[in-house]
Structure 1
Amino acid sequence: MENIKLLLADDEPVILRGLKKLISWEELGFAIVGEANDGRELRDLIRVHEPQLIISDISMPDGNGIDIIAELNEQGYDAKVIFISAFQEFGYARQALQLGALDYLVKPINKNQLEKVAGKAASIIREESDGERNKEMLSYYEKKNRSATIEQLLNGLLDGDRKTLTELSQMGVLAISRFTTVCVLEIDENINSSQWEERERNLVNFALSNIIREALEQERSTGNGLLVQKEAGFAILIQHEEKEYPLQLANDLHRKINDYLKLSVSCGIGQSMPDIEEAAESYRSALKALNRKYFEGLNQVILYEDQRTRNNPGNTSIAELQADLVKALTARQKELLQPLTRQLLEQIRIQAGDNRNLAVTGVYNSILTINREFEKIWGGMESIRTDQGALLEKLAACPSYADVAHTFEKIVSEMLQHPVSKLSGKERALLSRTKAYIEDHYASNITLESMAALVYMNPYYFSSFFKKHTGQNFKNYVTEVRMRHALKLLLESDLMVYEIADRVGYNHVRHFSDMFKKRFGKVPQEYRQSIRRHQS
């Protein structure tokens, strides 16, 4: 414990010097913080130093002991007071004791008496200080345990455990309201990534929770708000009367976090439910709203909307839009490319139903389809044909659908700049027929000889012709087609690896895995897991 602050007061300087030197105050645990020569100076020093013990003459100019102790009592100040009195003032000192003075000493001061009364004062002050500290600690832990219990119960409620409602009600944290709405707030930057130190993550979460709790406390008259941290975000359960209130609160929180913490955050607002028992449903809809930040853009407040009423697929299918885009590319109709590209991307998004994985896969498949069709006429983009795995990983790593769209638009622009093919009409038709056959029969045992016979060519000449106009040999081309379809099955289905191998023309799963690893750098199952980690 720190030294006890001691203030000495007497109108006789010789008494003051004697008090200071008579005993070793430091050894007893005291630190003398001031000396007063009269009542007025004593009052001033008390205000400045807030001493824990005052040893004062009971009768001084500008204020006697009775006045001083009465003032301390009136102000609720709990400093201990020991008075020094002359023999003839003994009755006066007695009166001071009745008002709360700790003890008194009769002049002349005896060293042993002073040590004894100072030791008594030190024991009482330390005991009271320890008791107060213990009381504060007990209160702190009681509040902390209560907060932890409330958070645990709220977690259960949002996960669908309605039994927690009874305990939450008994704890007095719930209100009676027309609506219950859950909002989920999440930092757009991934604070769980390796670039964030644990201390930084904790500080950010602490700062966020403080801003949210402060806002909820300020809004107590408008709605009852409870905060709980779930996974990487914060869930706020709001009980309110006005249906628009959650949006107002979320916008206010969003602005404060942007302004004070300079953090990009997204907030999903769930459905407003008429009964708190349906809080879990509101929470699930808030998560769905939050997931739309991939499509809507980061650092926004997003309201839940029923997909059945929000999505309007339109009349043009994805396949039709892909075909129209190929036609525009073939005819070099630059003015049609942008509107067709945007229409196709929007259609893919709608069909994906706000599912990030499906949207990425849809865009990836569209790029391959367009390139394959474009390839029949102009030769296609070799970089897409030969590095499909890198393309998918690039799309999956995009932080938003806008970035995916930008990548798609860039590829279409590159296709427009692709050099015109020098194939004759007859050669183009032959090459187109060959590729179409491979596309339809890749699961069969296609060989160079069987394909050459199909187009009435010598195998040697056919091999030379195919490589000249595609830039790769026939066997590698067939393998790439198979790998492309294998990749599609791997990412869009839950088929086992051996089932995928069989569907793309491989009799031995080990051979298929080796070929897949050679093409994409990882065995099928490992590749599937790495892509899903990117997309989660």
Structure 2
Amino acid sequence: MNRIMVVDDEAIQRRVLGKMMREALPDGEVMEAGNGMAALELARLHAFDMVITDIRMPIMDGFGFIEHMKEIAPDCKIIILSGYRYFEYAQRAIQLGAFDYLLKPVKEESIAQMLDKVKETILKEKQQNIEQENMKRQLDSNLNVYFEHLLQEWILGNATTGAQLQEIQQQYSLGMYGAVFVTRLVELHAEPLSLERMGEIRDLMPDQYSTHTGFNGRVLSFFPPEDKRIIITIMTDDSPAILLNSLNEYIQNYCRQLSERYNLNVTVGVGEVGSDFYLSAAKSYREALEAAEFRYFLTDDQVFYYRELAGRMKPMHYDFLEAAAVFKDCIRASKTELIIQHTDEVFHRTLEEGLPYPKQWQKSIVYLIYNIATVIKDFLSEEDYRSTLAEIEKRITACATFLDCKKEFLDILQQIMTILQSCRTRKHATIVERCISYIDNHYMEDLSLDSAAQQIFFSPNYLSKILKDHLGVSFTKYLTEIRLKKAIQMLENGDMKVYEIAGKVGFKDDKYFYRVFKARFGITPDDYRKNNALKE
């Protein structure tokens, strides 16, 4: 990366972040701005690879900056600064197109990890661009290379000049009305599809359409430039009724053929049928892509019509902070059943008012788990904690469906609870050892639960519970048992008077010592000494 900008109205924090960035990227250029407006002025003069910005700033806040920055430099990676108290800010920023977020207070390790993540993303994008260009050159297409590229530019909304649209019209004679389909293919076997096989699948769409429906309109299929696992299909006719009548039946047949013949998992997204299709094709394509994404929630379907889904798509406005607090309480109390119950409620409530956008949902769930995971932060090293968070994000974003995400969510919470229980067990064992050591060294004194707890800096109730859980007896019973064992040793190995032994082991009243001793061993201390002497 060559150039980075830090945007924050707090001068000290901005300089600290800038210093961190310069140290982490000594060969790069780091610029600073005190608000969103000043940052935009810099962005108009310089090309930035990455921007780190606060949200709450005067003149222009982070939200306004993100919106304008996406217009000026859509490829720039925008990182927002977020605290746990402002989760809704992070949610909105992600919805506006932020690449990622850093949690306050920002540490050098966080900066280094984020730089690595951005570098890796930029490198992957460049590599993908290279690979896409190579695939373009290698693809054995039935369409002329130039016109396929022109179709791609048109469907992406880039071919907007009259001359380009006229070229497409002259070459393909498309109808006035049309719709765009996207077919997303996922192999069900380990071996990836070859380019030749992908070309064969691409050509199946227009060939089979006319065969099955008797459709006489124009059908074209081609690949987008960025992803060769998607096939774009354009269908047009001068009559919208003819176009719509046979549409659903054909697409179902097409999906079935692809699944059976090529062993593929097929998802089809269908954009709206539009008039003046030369101008509305790009919109229909975007709708088709968006509709296909919702198989994440609707796993039983293969075909997704934008017109049917549009009313159900809802941006997320749900605040997970309250849910995070509930989950943390359940984890601390080791309440697995309540965790399952609250998970059901959260996932069900999410879908009550509509379907959120899948990527927005995944990022929100990751952020929810980040909040929950704070229960184990103090028990792990900084490196282990950050590694755990990174693995959580990887697992959630890899989920192909909403149900997979729910299962993974529960597994992650169970893992967090196991870590907490394990760390608590080790901590409690240390407390018990300290308490036992203290009793062993002070049993002869006027010892009580309160005084022992005070010495090892724990509350009496907490210490009592831990001792009961680990030793199976109360503090008083354990102390009495130690005192009696010490008394036995003195009775067996010396000639001290019984009342003297009682005082030496912590009993103030020798009569009480007699009662406790007899209750424990069935005989008095004097009889115990006599019996022991006879044995010797």
TM-score (norm 1): 0.43
Question: Which TM-score applies when normalising by structure 2?
Answer: 0.43
Q: Which has the larger radius of gyration?
A: 1
